[in-house]
Structure 1
């Protein structure tokens, strides 16, 4: 794919367009945001932070980076890329935001997809550690520290928006997507990581196996279940899988001890990849 600069950033304080000059993003009202030398921009005002260091920790990001770079979730990345590029007009660039991009694995896989299309990519996460890790691995993407609750992106500017295992804010998603733009959402299925969850929890709560409701402002386009068995042959990979999920922090001390004793583990990966089209006039 041909990757071009992302041009649709706006000021998180007043919503005015941001323009880049001398490694600083500025709006016409005079607000200025410096780009870090590592290749990312911090667009999360301090008043919008709920804690001093929000989002995933440095250790959680490192575990996710090791695990995903091992290729274990490649089938999910391929399904996401197919949805992004479906109905892609080859003569126009697609502006795509990953809202909750983590350390950037899915955008990197999208950028490496074979084809003649043109993409303008932005990855946003509330964790500065995640954005820093992403920027260190790929400078072609516009990496931003920010919040899904107040996306620093111009209204009606995006062709695609990804929300992968994340925290959707549908009114904001509808605002930044063009009419007819596509939201691609990935959620855990009923059996996702069941074997691991059976080890770390004394009992499992039943998960909803039906489709999620269509979010306001959207219409459902497609729904695909991606399911496969994953054989982990190294204790380090098992530890990373647990550390990159909320289960590490929700499990009891006994559950974490049982997981730490595993040498190998075969788990079911099951996710639902859904796409929704933004309805004209929905915001």
Structure 2
């Protein structure tokens, strides 16, 4: 499968480390193997997405295995629910590839090709260098650079994406797996930042063209050393609201207990 040109939406073909469309729009393949399909006119900032500090914190935390149960649950669900003849799977908002690489490994015996997409170039560069078995690109999740009905499965862990784009790229009978925070996700960490902790609101996501087939929760308690508690805070949106003293107090702790609470949903694309 080729990518679609983000400018004219025609197929891109690879020629000598370049992806090129019939209208001669060209995109270089980086030495790490990924392709940047994020034209400058589509950017809302110079470096969209997570910055290097956030990416490094997330990498250190995830490499510690603290979200391994979530990764395993997503991979198992994918393998069970994907159509028998599935050929391609996409991880939207793949970051540094922690989930993407395991998805590729779990589906390797079925010869399913795995793609990863993220808006953050620094994360995709790292992912492509570390996981060459995955096809990574820098692109907007609101303008997916893939052909209609080209993906038999899509994974979306926290990442935003237009419902119409999901319906466009997922094949008939294909699946969408989403992960969102449950009501008490990271409750104790939030309590370090906010005087009053508000539980995550739970609402059913309506996705035209899809039927909700399964919903489950995954909850467990993290037991973190102080430096990993800091990494966890650094990779969350509410890190922006945390005073320096919060980071200092977490770093000084020998052990920090914190709840996880994930909601995992499986949607099936209507035939």
TM-score of the two chains, using structure 2 as the length reference: 0.94
Q: Quick one: distance in 2 between partners of 1:178 and 1:93?
A: 9
In the other structure, the counterpart of 1:112 is: 105
In the other structure, the counterpart of 1:4 is: none
Contact 1:199-1:258 within 8 A present in 2 as well:
no
CA RMSD of aligned residues (A): 1.7
Q: Quick one: distance in 1 between partners of 2:161 and 2:241?
A: 21
TM-score of the two chains, using structure 1 as the length reference: 0.90
Contact 1:200-1:256 within 8 A present in 2 as well:
no
In the other structure, the counterpart of 1:3 is: none
Contact 2:103-2:114 within 8 A present in 1 as well:
no
Q: Quick one: distance in 2 between partners of 1:12 and 1:51?
A: 18
In the other structure, the counterpart of 1:212 is: 204
How much does 1:211 deviate?
Answer: 4.5
In the other structure, the counterpart of 2:148 is: 155
> Gaps spanning 5+ residues in structure 2: where?
none
Runs of 4+ off more than 4 Å: none
Residue 102 of structure 1 is aligned with which of 81, 95, 117?
Answer: 95
Q: Quick one: distance in 1 between partners of 2:112 and 2:34?
A: 18
In the other structure, the counterpart of 2:219 is: 227
Q: Quick one: distance in 1 between partners of 2:71 and 2:87?
A: 18
Q: What are the Cα deviations for residues 192-250 of structure 1, in whole angstroms up to 9, with x where unaligned?
A: 11111111211112322x45233222110111101111111x22211111111112112
Q: Quick one: distance in 1 between partners of 2:49 and 2:107?
A: 32
How much does 1:259 deviate?
Answer: 3.1
The total of aligned residue pairs comes to 271
> 183-192 or 110-119, which moves further after superposition?
110-119
**Do residues 244 (structure 1) and 235 (structure 2) align?**
yes
How much does 1:117 deviate?
Answer: 1.1
- The 5 A counterparts of 1:116-131 are 116-131=109-124
How much does 1:253 deviate?
Answer: 4.3
> 105-114 or 16-25, which moves further after superposition?
105-114
> Gaps spanning 5+ residues in structure 1: where?
1-6
